Amino acid sequence: MALCRNTAIFFLFIFFFFFPISYSAHENKHRNTSSLSLSFPLTLSPLSSKSSATFRASLFSNSKPNPSLKTPSYNYKLSFKYSMALIVSFPIGTPPQTQQMVLDTGSQLSWIQCHKKAPRVPPPTASFDPSLSSTFSVLPCTHPICKPRVPDFTLPTDCDPNRLCHYSYFYADGTLAEGNLVREKFAFSTSVSTPPLALGCAKDPSDSKGILGMNLGRLSFSSQARITKFSYCIPTRRNLPGSLPTGSFYLGNNPNSGGFKYIDLLTFPQSQRMPNLDPLAYTVAMQGIRIGTKKLNIPPTVFRPDASGSGQTMIDSGSEFTFLVDEAYNKVREEIVRLVGPRIKKGYVYSGGVADMCFDGNVMEIGRLVGDMAFEFDKGVEIVVPRDQMLADVGGGVRCLAIGRSSMLGAASNIIGNFHQQNLWVEFDLANRRVGFGKADCSRSV
């Protein structure tokens, strides 16, 4: 499937948390990456650094650390492949079966594809065979998380004919995903694994990759596995067929964190219910946007939740492009038009109008005229996008500024997508409720 169509589908599936009919639509934006390589080895390298001794009993937005809980020693370096998503391979079950999952900080439920294999056929990595694992179990309807509207988990569930917990939901493109909620172990090595964690066991044979949900919800992988911090480094994207760059993913302490700059996560009380707010996202206080040397005239309030939750700014590994509310997007477009207006591809809109700052001219020339772009946060922290990495190849010789209108997605939020996280360490420090950033050459082993 063409890159531009894949990306277009990504745009449709971001705000599942806000609308019940598309609750897990955010996760579906990765479903159409099946044309990529189907097998990526997991690289595990134990680290010598100590793990924090504290962990949250629950990762609700207003929870506090519980020093009586000890954190498992999950300090490992993994690798992932990057195209429009971060694809990590995990050994799951006993004995382990390697499964590909999209690392998504905007999702809570992790899920894998489950299918029973034909006799005498070696199980492929594309799906998981529950019958081959001694630690697999299916959750019954009576299990507490199988009840609708469990505090921070709104996945529609019901009982199947076998009295097992069944979930089903529609994606924004009208397709249906369904399966059973189950428990299974994730293995880090032959001697270290998680306890059985709750996840989805999907039955859609067209999917080859699952989702590794890493948001602040109680049922996310990071919360269930009691991981106090994790980080990733996204390499520069390549457009070479059959070649995907490899990035680094740390569970636990990162030896590079000494050079990181941190910003605090915004806190939302558990009782604070706002229709346009995702309380389980990694929400930060963005201060503004700079293009070249000019800081755009955008009030900081545009990047923070208002009384309805609109304006929330999130760091999301699962979204490809960055999305802005109209007030911010219009200011960005106004400046781009001022700098390179005649070079914008006339009459061209990408993905149904989500993005309309696109070009088919000389990329280097456009970058020279625009300059670097920076997303400014509090405490002087910035994400700087170099001028030669501002435009995303959307196919057909067209490149677009990797920024879209969030209003075209039916929501009013700001999202910093993975395209603007290239060559940057991004660390989610859950114990201290902060996000760290550090410049790096992510194409190298870091």
C-beta of residue 15 within 8 angstroms of C-beta of residue 27: no
pLDDT band at residue 192 using 50, 70 and 90 as cut-offs: confident
CATH of domain 259-439: 2.40.70.10
CB burial of 221-251 (b: ≥16 within 10 Å; e: otherwise) equals bbbbbbbbbbbbbbbebeeeeeebbbbbbbb
pLDDT band at residue 350 using 50, 70 and 90 as cut-offs: confident
Annotated catalytic sites, by residue?
104, 316
Instruction: Give the pLDDT of residue 167.
Output: 78
DSSP for 86-121, please give it.
Answer: EEEEEEETTTTEEEEEEEETT----EEEB-PPPTTS
Q: 190 or 262, which is more confident? A: 262
Domains 3-257 and 259-439 in one fold? yes
Backbone angles phi, psi at 331, to 5 degrees: -70, -40
Most confident segment among 9-18, 213-222, 294-303: 294-303
pLDDT in tens, 166-186: 877 554 444 456 789 999 999
Percent of the chain with pLDDT over 90: 50
Pick 3-257's CATH classification: 2.60.120.260, 2.40.70.10, 3.40.50.300, 3.40.640.10. 2.40.70.10
| Residue 344 confidence (pLDDT) above 90 | yes
What is the distance between the alpha carbons of residues 396 and 394, in angstroms, rounded to a whole number?
Answer: 7
Could you tell me the residue ranges of all domains in the chain? 3-257, 259-439
Give this prediction's pTM.
0.81
Instruction: Give the pLDDT of residue 205.
Output: 57
What is the distance between the alpha carbons of residues 91 and 79, in angstroms, rounded to a whole number?
Answer: 13
pLDDT in tens, 101-148: 999 999 888 999 898 766 555 555 578 999 999 999 999 988 888 876
Averaged pLDDT for residues 282-301: 97
Averaged pLDDT for residues 278-286: 94
95 upstream amide cis, omega within 30 of 0: yes
What is the distance between the alpha carbons of residues 128 and 110, in angstroms, rounded to a whole number?
Answer: 14
pLDDT band at residue 377 using 50, 70 and 90 as cut-offs: very high
Element spanning 11, H or E? helix 3-12
